[in-house]
């Protein structure tokens, strides 16, 4: 349906609305570009984290859409997913994050500060994206209240964080096992199912484990691993560094509704 307002306001009113629309689109593009610049900075500093957050964003978006979230909320989920680990690039944590050996108790305590450090880094964006620092702060909370940093329980945990924590865990399991043919995603789905109503929001787990949603996640996973299951190497890295998650302002590809769960989660 066409907008009747320009007819009421006349030609001048129509021009005004058109100008406002143009300004809004330009501002959205600017905001998207600024966020993407920040993402590029994360990736330049730490390519592994950069690739991890892009994968997490892809899985989180599939869950968000399947859970019936509207476009606006899906954007919020995408942002929290893309910046959830920004606290890990803090100079105080960099060596620990890249420590190949098992972490000591003190190192684990230090790593547990990354949600708060991330929220702090993102604090200036709170006025524009209120969900972003709050979601990042809460992405290690658990449904049963045993998470950190605040021990929030159930729906007190922001929805964005409840989705991202599932996608994050899925990636951690699936990706580290990706070269053991066939075991990566299966094991990851098992871990998510085991965490239902303890670690994770049970409704969101149910959404993720719906066969069409699982299928879509597996397809996404398959596009992000090396074609022949090689371990690491330059070829693998080149394949993975294709920037395949993009902000909405320059890609409408995720906008179409492909999956809908029987119920909305909020
Ligand atoms: Fe994290």
Q: CA quadruple 15, 250, 161, 88: dihedral positive or negative?
A: negative
Say how far apart CA 60 and CA 201 lie, in whole Å.
Answer: 14
Residue 88 annotated in active site: yes
CATH code of the domain occupying 12-247: 1.10.3210.10
- The two tokens of residue 123 are 């604090």
Neighbours of 235 (CB within 10 A): 12
- The two tokens of residue 64 are 């968000």
CA 223-179-63 angle, to 5 degrees, is 45
Give 222 or 143, the one with higher predicted confidence.
Answer: 143
pLDDT in tens, 188-227: 999 999 999 999 999 999 999 999 999 999 998 888 764 4
Q: What single DSSP character describes residue 200?
A: B
How far, in Å, from the CA of 199 to the mean position of ligand 1? 14
pLDDT of 262 higher than 70: no
How far, in Å, from the CA of 27 to the mean position of ligand 1? 30
Averaged pLDDT of the chain: 83
Q: How far is CA 215 from CA 19, 173, 202, 210, 259, in A?
A: 43, 17, 19, 9, 11
Catalytic residue among 22, 88, 187, 214: 88
Average pLDDT over residues 170-197: 83
pLDDT of 57 higher than 80: yes
How far, in Å, from the CA of 156 to the mean position of ligand 1? 19
Say how far apart CA 113 and CA 140 lie, in whole Å.
Answer: 10
- The two tokens of residue 148 are 């950190």
CB 167 within 8 Å of CB 161: no
Average pLDDT over residues 42-71: 92
Say how far apart CA 111 and CA 102 lie, in whole Å.
Answer: 13
Q: CA quadruple 23, 253, 81, 238: dihedral positive or negative?
A: negative
Any long-range contacts for 239-247 (C-beta under 8 Å, 24+ apart)?
Answer: 240/51, 241/47, 241/51, 243/54, 244/54, 244/58, 245/54, 245/57, 245/58, 245/61, 245/78, 245/82, 247/32, 247/35, 247/36, 247/78
Give 243 or 220, the one with higher predicted confidence.
Answer: 220
Domain extent listing, the chain: 12-247
Region at 145 (left for phi over 0; alpha for psi -120 to 50; beta for the rest): left
Least confident of 55-59, 72-76, 123-127, 247-251: 247-251
Give 238 or 169, the one with higher predicted confidence.
Answer: 169
How far, in Å, from the CA of 84 to the mean position of ligand 1? 6
Q: CA quadruple 137, 151, 206, 262: dihedral positive or negative?
A: negative
How far, in Å, from the CA of 16 to the mean position of ligand 1? 45
CB 16 within 8 Å of CB 9: yes
- The two tokens of residue 248 are 């909405």
pLDDT at residue 171, as a whole number: 93
């Amino acid at each position: 349906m066409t907008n009747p307002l320009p007819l009421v306001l006349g030609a001048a009113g129509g021009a005004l609305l058109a100008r406002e629309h143009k300004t809004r689109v330009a501002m959205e593009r600017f905001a998207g570009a600024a966020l993407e610049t920040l993402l590029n900075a994360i990736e330049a500093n730490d390519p592994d984290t950069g690739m991890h957050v892009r994968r997490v964003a892809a899985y989180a978006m599939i869950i968000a859409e399947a859970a019936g979230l509207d476009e606006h909320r899906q954007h919020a989920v995408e942002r929290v997913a893309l910046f959830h680990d920004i606290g890990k690039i803090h100079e105080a944590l960099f060596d620990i994050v890249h420590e190949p050996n098992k972490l000591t108790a003190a190192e684990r305590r230090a790593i547990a500060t990354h949600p708060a450090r991330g929220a702090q880094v993102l604090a200036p964006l709170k006025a524009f994206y209120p969900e972003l620092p709050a979601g990042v702060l809460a992405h290690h909370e658990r449904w049963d209240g045993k998470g950190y940093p605040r021990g929030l329980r159930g729906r007190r945990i922001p929805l964005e964080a409840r989705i991202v924590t599932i996608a994050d865990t899925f990636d951690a399991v699936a990706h580290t096992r990706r070269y053991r043919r066939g075991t990566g995603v299966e094991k990851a789905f098992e871990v998510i199912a085991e965490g239902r109503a303890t670690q994770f929001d049970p409704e969101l787990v149910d959404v993720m484990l719906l066969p069409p949603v699982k299928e879509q996640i597996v397809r996404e996973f398959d596009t992000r691993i090396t074609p022949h299951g090689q371990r690491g190497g330059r070829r693998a890295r080149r394949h993975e560094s294709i920037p395949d998650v993009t902000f909405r302002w320059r890609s409408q590809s995720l906008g179409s509704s492909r999956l809908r769960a029987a119920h909305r989660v909020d």
